[in-house]
Structure 1
Amino acid sequence: MQRPLFTYHTPDTAPEKSQEALQRVLNKFGIIPNQDKILAVAPSIYEAYNHSFDLFLGKSSLSLLEGQIVIMTASFENNSPYCMAVHTWGMEMTKVPQDVIDSLRNGEPIKDSKLEALRSFTKDLLVCHGHVDESAIAAFIDAGYTQQNIVEVIGGLSAKMISNYINILAKTELDEVMKPYQWTHPDKVKAEGTTA
């Protein structure tokens, strides 16, 4: 059996400065997701990730649904199977309409035009590495979003990059509760003739 590239820490094995955060996650969710077990090795980054993610989803002017669209779009474009599964689970838990979840998992337009403008702008930011043209910014503003929302989307992407990249590098194993939401990028599905 191949040895994992990254250690899956517990509150007992993690660096001291990460132990309390892991315990908080356990108390809140009843499990410590594998992603957290890996991130715990770097206490300052683990703290920065948790804080920035909580601020983005809980304190920005974007709604919870809009925040989830940003992080799912990032996870799709960065091709992070672990994050796609986790956030699908989270979206179902918060009663996001199934058609929105399906659109995000398939990288397809969302029927709601304002939400689609958010998904499209987020995708443009990622694909163009921030070098979006003025027409993309204008379309986002015309859809009802603001300059503040632009900054907030970038903040959400910065937090999501931490978890997307670490889960890609670590090939993080899906937690048992996440297994029903397993995800494969549609391009890979088409190439291999498999099902998502």
Structure 2
Amino acid sequence: MSPFTAHTVDTAPAAARPTIEGVRRKLGHLPAAVGLMAESPELLKGFLTVNGIFESCGLAPIEREVVVLTVATRNECHLCVAMHTATLTRHGAAPELIDALRAGTPLPDCRLEALRRFTVAVLDHRGAVPEDGITAFLSAGYEPRHALDVVLGVGTYTVSTFANRLTGAPLDPPVAAYAWEPAGPV
């Protein structure tokens, strides 16, 4: 039995109530992951705040989703993969792009593939990306600020993926059609 409670506005710690009520109003429902994160009002508020900042960074919407799905698949967060697959679908992303991101395989778009590879390098090298990795990223048309935006996305979605996995956050009905499980050993 999990020690974590999927809180509602009525059961959440008082400091989390305004935050989860705001999410509920904005989305029309309270995602289970938000209710679970509400156990730590600071974690919930911190994630939502940093996520809002990431959403306004220099990366375009599809580029941000490349970063998010790269982190989510690497960290094996079934919930983030499903949620951000739905987001990419709403953005009209090509099915081939979505499938490759979900599989962790090279992307059909060279520029987005450079972004995916750079995100993997940030994760693999804990930020100390080798010079050739930075050069390849910049050669794809990205700017130094975008490299830092990737770090922001990695940090933001490390919080989310780790919290979702720790709490066992379930899929909500709106994203159930995008369910994902990590590939087993090859």
Superposition TM-score, scaled by structure 1 size: 0.90
Which residue, 125, 128, 142 being the options, matches 1:128?
125
Paired with 2:175 and 2:124, the residues of 1 have a C-alpha distance of 27
1:166 offset after TM fit, Å? 1.1
Question: How do 1:7-46 residues align onto structure 2 when only pairs under 5 Å count?
Answer: 7-46=5-44
Indicate yes or no: 2:98 matched with 1:92.
no
Deviations 1:99-126 (A, max 9, x none): 1111100111111111110011001111
CA RMSD of aligned residues (A): 1.3
Equivalent position amino acid for 2:27 in 1 = F
Letter of the aligned partner of 1:9 in structure 2?
Answer: H
Which 4+ residue blocks in structure 1 deviate beyond 6 angstroms?
A: none
Contact 2:4 2:39 in 1 (8 A): no
Q: Distance in 1 between matches of 2:19 and 2:93?
A: 28
Q: What is the one-letter code of the residue matched to 2:118?
A: F
Write the distance in 1 (CA, Å) between the matches of 2:44 and 2:152: 16
Render the CA deviation track for 1:169-188: whole Å, top value 9, x for unaligned.
Answer: 222111122211111112x1
Q: Quick one: which of 131, 140, 161 aligns to 2:137? A: 140
Size of the alignment, in residue pairs? 186
Give 1:73 deviation, angstroms.
Answer: 0.4
- Equivalent residue for 2:164, pick from 152, 164, 167: 167
SS of the counterpart of 1:131? Answer: coil
Once the 2 structures are TM-superposed, how far is the Cα of residue 157 of structure 1 from its aligned partner? 0.8
Unaligned runs of 5+ in 2: none
What is the alpha-carbon distance in structure 2 between the residues aligned to residue 132 and residue 16 of structure 1?
42
**Contact 2:86-2:178 at 8 Å conserved across structures:** yes
Q: Does 1:67 align with 2:48?
A: no
Share of identical aligned residues, percent?
A: 31
Equivalent residue letter for 2:182? H
Gaps of 5+ in 1: 192-196
Q: Deviations over 1:61-111 (max 9, x none)?
A: 110111111011000111111111111112212222211111100111111
| Paired residue type of 2:18 | E
d(CA) in 2 for partners of 1:110, 1:56 = 22
Q: Tell me the SS of whatever aligns to 1:17.
A: coil
Q: What CA deviation, in whole Å up to 9, does each residue of 1:115-158 have, x standing for no partner?
A: 11001100111122223210000000111111111111101111
- TM-score computed with the length of structure 2 as normaliser: 0.95
